Chain A
Amino acid sequence: MTHSAHDHDHAHGHDHGHDHSHDLDHPHPPQRDHDADEMSPYELLEEAVRSLLVEKGVLTGEEIARQVDLMDSRTPAMGAKVVAKAWLDPDFKKHLLKDTRGALAGLGIDIGTLADYRTVANTAKVHNVVVCTLCSCYPKLLLGIPPAWYKSLAYRSRVVVDPRSVLDEFGLALKPGVEVRVHDSTAELRYLVLPMRPRGTEGWTEDQLAAIITRDCMVGTAVPVVPKKAAA
């Protein structure tokens, strides 16, 4: 068993080599497949430590499996629900921006104690995009496992120096006059981008709204797009 509690990129047993949870047709760097290469030193280390923890009775295999399942149950759908609610409920939005942990707790979402969370709102003038240049900090307990590109050296170094080109490569064309604000997660704080609600979604339900809020919208490398049919 090579998959387990370490921070890897894709769901188990399906969707290998393809991490798109959205239908925008833009390329990401290819995902590494577990079967394709030999185990890295870190994977070997993880397996050794895990075996020891089980052997010494510190953890059981079942406990580890349950934790992996819990992480896998966290998906961007959770974040999308939060954003949709913020679009529909101004009081919730205010709470989310002021006290992300408290607002999420009100929805029954526990973000744990390892890091605190912050929400940054896109406006007509400012577009936010999140990166972790030092490693790969990501609001995992809200959005699930980060995509491989988020952890790539290319994204981490380039989005800081040249964010507009990177956003352009993601297919995101910002309107003229919109400032780009890059957030480098250097502290024990995780950042969630609250995208702007697009035009053409008036009267939509929370579920309808959540359907257009993709993971990338909450990292800041995309904005929600209303499908052409629905916009009619």
Chain B
Amino acid sequence: MKHSPALEPQFKIGDAVRIDNRTVVGHNRTPVYIRGKTGVITEIQGRMHEPSRMAYHKPGLPLMYWYKVRFQQRDLWPRYKGDANDQLELDVQEDWLLAPRGKKK
């Protein structure tokens, strides 16, 4: 798994991405309900400090890219009751993003 923060974003708008399903201890910003799920990047939010380190009074450097990722609700919740097109978006730090299964990044 690649964790080196890049100067250029490693993903682009429209890319399908899978959220890493790793287990981490402590504060982080990747909710469990999206881990292992696949969505599509809708925005590149820029480089930001890493909150999972800042939570422990570290500077949160180097800066890392954040992406807005859109999921179909039905992909997140097998028994989702709403409409087929309902969506959920959230912002994910680059080192949690992987190429979807069966695709090489």
Contact = CB atoms under 8 A, between A and B. Distances in A.
A188 B91 CA distance: 9
Interface of B: 29-31, 33, 45, 48-49, 51, 66, 70, 73, 77, 80-83, 85-93
A111 to B, nearest CB: 16
Nearest to A189: B91
B31 A183 contact: no
Nearest to A180: B86
Given A161-B77, A181-B87, A182-B88, A187 B51 contact: yes
Contacts, number: 68
A192 B85 CA distance: 22
A133 interface: yes
Contact of B66 (A161, A162, A187): A187
A133 B87 CA distance: 15
A130 B85 CA distance: 17
A137 to B, nearest CB: 10
Given A180-B87, A187-B91, A164 B81 contact: yes
Contacts of B33: 133, 160
A46 interface: no
Given A133-B31, A134-B29, A160-B33, A184 B82 contact: no
Contact of A179 (B31, B66, B85): B85
A186 B86 contact: no
